[in-house]
Amino acid sequence: MDGFDSTAIPTDLPPPPPPLTPAELAALPHDNAGPRLNATIWVLVGVATAFLVLRLYCKWLRHRGPWWDDWILFGSWVCVTAQCCLLSVAVSLHYGKHFWDYPIDFDNGVRLAKVINAAGTLSLTAAVWSKTSFAVTLLRLSEGWMRGAIWFIIVTMNVAMGLSALFIWVHCDPPPKTWNFMIPGICWDRRVLVNYDIFSAAYSAAMDLTLALLPWKLIWGLQMRKQEKFGVAFAMSCGIFAGITAIVKTTKIPSMLSFDPADGIDLFIWGNAESCVTIVAASIPVLRVLIREVRSSGRRYYISGGPGPEDAFSSSRLQPRARRKEPARTIVTVSGGRTPKTPDNWSDRSILDDTHSPGQIVQTNEVAVEFEARRDSDSMFEMRQLGNHRIV
């Protein structure tokens, strides 16, 4: 046959299974893992979405717009959501079934291969961007050798996982052969591709654990109560759970060598979990600040109500309605930075309870509280502000 080169036929593909008799086919499992894949990935993305929205809401609540770490994390969320959409399309193309249950449709196989390749690329991109986001947050809180170490992690991790995403499309010559095995050409030995993916995934997991431990070094030198140190350090070390999911995902990568596409379902599930858990872990330190402020606001509200609800109501029933002649005077002192412009990393440093900037008196309010014994129908304290001046 003119123009045909038998050496162009790839030899790295796994051997096809032998023909099955009807009895053998009936004895094989006929389960479909597609619905399990769909349900799991969308639940994970839903949880990640909730935490990301709360993170952005917390920054909006403190009048801080998104910074680079927020945009990178948002990009990761976009990628993992798009990956879920593609995997749902793949399930509609029978992905999740065993190969002996696949319909004999060559065009369907080509479409499915393209969708799976794109989903794998988005999975890797979402994972590395979510880790990069947390690393960028640490950059704004670190200095010296730690800052250099974080930059090294960011660069090497993006290169390692970026190559894995690239190899999906270029491990065959010509590239279209990656989704259409009938095209003549040459492909890498699949074991080379799988071994490199194992390396990059393991390196990513190791960097997750490293980024989870770095905050302890950063926080332990701060002048904080030990209980607060543990609270902040734990919140910033939740990336260890992302490292655990990355380790589990690494153990699933050899399934890429299987001839049965259904064996790759768990790899996609754990790849999706890696990105979603990292998004959640990167959002927890910011949410801790919100929880702390809510508790503080509740405490201030309780104190402003006077001696307590029981004392206030009991006195209103026993005493006649009468106004005090001399109001009680309270001096309220506000502490904070003296600079009129807040640094751009204020919202990140607030994760550390604002311990980097020593407080100074910037404003004093003198307030007079006029109160009277209340009847059951009364429900209001009168408050009059006497003065407001700023200390230079």
Of the candidate CATH numbers 3.90.320, 3.30.460, 1.20.1070, 1.10.3470, the domain formed by 6-294 belongs to 1.20.1070
286, burial (CB in 10 Å: exposed 0-12, middle 13-18, buried 19+): buried
Nearest Cα neighbor of 217 from 239, 204, 227, 232 is: 232
Give the three-state DSSP class for 180.
coil
* Range in 80-94, 179-193, 300-314 with the lowest mean pLDDT: 300-314
State how far Cα 325 lies from the chain centre. Answer: 58
pLDDT score of 292: 60
Give the Cα separation of 61 and 201 in Å (integer).
Answer: 37
Tokens of 238: 């939740």
Scan for tokens 């754990």, then name that residue: 270
Residue 53 has pLDDT above 50, yes or no: yes
Give the integer Cα–Cα distance in Å for 290 and 170: 46
Condensed to tens digits (0 to 9), the pLDDT of residues 126-170 reads 999 999 998 998 888 777 888 899 999 999 999 999 999 999 999
Vertex 152: Cα angle to 146 and 153 (nearest 5): 90
Residue ranges per structural domain of the chain = 6-294, 324-389
Residue 12 three-state SS: coil
**Pairwise CA distance, residues 308 & 302, whole Å:** 7
Between CA 254 and CA 379 the distance in angstroms is: 69
pTM strictly above 0.85: no
Name the residue with higher pLDDT: 291 or 321.
291
Place of tokens 């979405």: 49
Specify the 3-state DSSP secondary structure of 222.
Answer: coil
Half-sphere exposure of 177 (CA within 13 A, CB side): 18
151: exposed, middle or buried (C-beta count within 10 Å: 0-12, 13-18, 19+)? middle
pLDDT tens, 235-258? 677 788 989 999 999 999 998 888
